[in-house]
Every structure is written in C-alpha cells, then in structure tokens.
C-alpha cells in the first residue's frame, strides 16, 4: 500500500501563523533576501548545498520534491540521506525485507535522478523501529559533518496526528527529532562525539533548516514549474504506488497549499523555516 499523503495542516493554525509571520518568504530567492536583511554579517553567496534527511524512500517525494526539483534547476546541490530503506513497506507475503530494501533503494535513486539529485546516502536502519537516541544522533552528526550542508530539509517531529484521519508514522517523528538534535548543537560542537573528530570529521554549522510536512508552516515555495517533475519522481516508487493514480490528489494538495499564501503561485509546498545564527 502507498503511504498516505501527509494531509494539509490545520487551517486555523496556518491563518494565525500567516498573521504573525509577515516576513514569510514564498520562494527561495526572496527568502535569502529576507535572511540577509535580518543578519548583518555577510551571507555566503552562490549555490547552496542541501541535505534532505528523511525516514523512508518516497517520503521526500510526497513532502518536498517540487522544492528539490526547483533548487537543483537553480543550481543548488542536493543530497538525500535515507535513514531506512523502507524494508517494511509491503503486505506481500512472498516479499522479504532484504529484497524490498534493495527495490526501494533503486526506486529512490531513480526518483533522485529525475529530480537532479546525484548523491543518495542510505544509513539502512531497520524500517519501523527508528528512535531518536544518541546512536542515531551520532550517525547523523557523522553524515552532516561529512556532507557539510548549508541547508537541511527534514521531517517535522511535532506532527503526532492530523485531523481525525492521520496518525503520523513514528519513524517520521524520530527522523525529524534526531536530525534537529544532530544539526543543533551536536554537529556544531567540537567536544560532542569526540570519536568523530578522531575520524577527521570537523564540526559543521548548518545555517538553514526547513521542516517538511510542517504543522505550522511559515514559508511557501512556488513549485508550479516543477510539479510535473515531482509527479514523475513519485512514479519512480513503483512498489509503493502500484495502480494508484495519485496525480490528481497531489495536484489538489499543492494547489490548496499555494492558496494559503499570497504569491505562492498555482502550486506550492510549505515548510517551517529556521535561520540559525
Ligand atoms: Zn514514510
């Protein structure tokens, strides 16, 4: 069965958020401008390095593939980090976790190729059992210090449920929690996980974080020109999609998201955004 599309977060919370976030940017470029205005020190210019840290193959395609496609088209370099290879995502009695993981890694690489993402890291934790413990945090600090991303996209760990129809997957919450804890302060602090220093992995400071599927989004990215690429990337997840004609649902979702913020185009993805000092 395909994983459910994360439903649109509560509208009243969003309305409140819009009112209290007048500087919320609707696209990456105006976001950079807003961030520069807020921070007097010089911001590095040029293409950014982005790490998408995510629990399962296909999560990122549902949540943020339009944004990824847009950013790679704009020249930014995007790397995916998969915490699990989705080895529980099948109800076929003849399927094995090993075969499924291999299939889903191939599907994820295919989706990434469509999105212009050429580097995919698989950490291969078992699907369905992720916990945001120190071991997972250390794994993620290791990856962050190696990849040195300027920007991290991860899942919103605060989404426990949505409406009366959706319980968020515990792996999604664990992935978001562990990633945020790795970004701040562990990846930045020299004396945390000294064994990584011994491996030559120097501290690294991530400058921006986007929470995908966020409960309280405050940034909208216009993906109108990249919606078809997002749909194509989703189609690469053959084992999960099956016969499901997801395109109308994804279009509706992106249209409804865009309608929540003026200037977000015809189709958008939304995020909770952090600019770290
Ligand atoms: Zn998932």
pLDDT for 151-165, tens place per residue? 999 999 999 999 999
Which pLDDT score is estimated for 208? 97
Average pLDDT across the chain, whole number: 88
pLDDT at residue 11 is higher than 80: no
Tokens of 163: 């409406």
CA 4, CA 95: separation in Å to the nearest integer? 21
Please check the confidence at residue 236 and state whether its pLDDT lies above 90. yes
Distance 44 CA to ligand 1 centre (A): 33
- From the list 43, 207, 54, the residue with the least C-alpha distance to 123 is 54
Residue 83 has pLDDT above 60, yes or no: yes
Cα separation of 179 and 123, whole Å? 13
* Cβ contacts of 40 within 8 Å, gap of 6 or more: none
Quote the DSSP letter at residue 182.
Answer: I
Question: pLDDT higher for 39 or 197?
Answer: 197
* pLDDT reported for residue 42: 61
Task: Give residue 17 CA to ligand 1 midpoint distance, Å.
Answer: 26
- Per the model's pLDDT, the better-predicted residue between 208 and 5 turns out to be 208
- Ligand 1 centre and the CA of 171: distance in Å? 7
For residue 62, the CA-to-ligand 1 centroid distance in Å is 9
| CA–centroid distance, residue 219 to ligand 1 (Å) | 22
Confidence of residue 10 (pLDDT cuts 50, 70, 90): very low
Kindly give, in sequence order, each residue whose CB lies less than 8 Å from that of residue 65, ignoring residues fewer than 6 positions away: 111, 115, 229, 230, 233, 234
- 272 Cα: distance to centroid of ligand 1 (angstroms): 19
**Distance from residue 34's CA to the centre of ligand 1 (Å):** 32
Q: How many CB atoms lie within 10 A of CB 83?
A: 30
| Distance, CA of 209 to CA of 216 (rounded, Å) | 14
CA of 43 to the centre of ligand 1 (A): 34
Please report the domains of the chain, with CATH numbers, ordered by start residue.
Answer: 50-275 (3.40.50.10320)
pLDDT digits 0-9 by tens, 21-79 = 323 345 444 454 444 444 445 666 789 999 999 999 999 999 999 999 999 999 999 99
Contact in structure between 30 and 74 (CB atoms under 8 Å): no
CA of 83 to the centre of ligand 1 (A): 10
Ligand 1 centroid to 168 CA: how many Å? Answer: 9
């Amino acid at each position: 069965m395909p994983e459910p599309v994360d439903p649109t977060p509560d509208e009243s919370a969003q309305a409140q958020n819009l009112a209290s976030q007048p500087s919320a940017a609707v696209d990456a470029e105006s976001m950079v401008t807003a961030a520069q205005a807020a921070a007097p020190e010089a911001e590095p210019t040029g293409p950014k390095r982005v790490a998408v840290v995510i629990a399962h193959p296909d999560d990122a395609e549902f949540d943020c593939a339009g944004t990824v496609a847009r950013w790679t088209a704009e020249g930014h370099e995007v790397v995916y980090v998969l915490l699990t290879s989705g080895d529980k995502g099948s109800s076929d009695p003849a399927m094995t976790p090993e075969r499924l993981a291999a299939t889903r890694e191939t599907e994820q690489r295919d989706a990434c190729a469509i999105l212009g993402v050429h580097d995919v890291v698989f950490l291969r934790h078992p699907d369905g059992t992720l916990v945001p413990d120190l071991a997972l945090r250390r794994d993620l600090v290791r990856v962050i210090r190696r990849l040195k991303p300027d920007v991290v996209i991860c899942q919103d760990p605060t989404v426990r449920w949505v409406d009366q129809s959706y319980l968020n997957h515990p792996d999604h919450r664990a992935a978001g929690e562990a990633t945020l804890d790795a970004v701040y302060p562990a990846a930045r602090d020299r004396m945390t996980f000294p064994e990584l220093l011994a491996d030559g992995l120097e501290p690294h400071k991530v400058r921006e974080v986007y929470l995908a599927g966020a409960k309280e989004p405050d940034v909208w990215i216009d993906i109108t020109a990249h919606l078809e690429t997002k749909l194509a990337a989703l189609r690469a997840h053959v084992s999960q999609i099956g016969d499901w004609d997801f395109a109308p649902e994804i279009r509706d979702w992106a249209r409804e998201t865009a309608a929540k913020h003026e200037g977000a185009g015809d189709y958008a993805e939304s995020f909770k955004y952090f600019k770290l000092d």
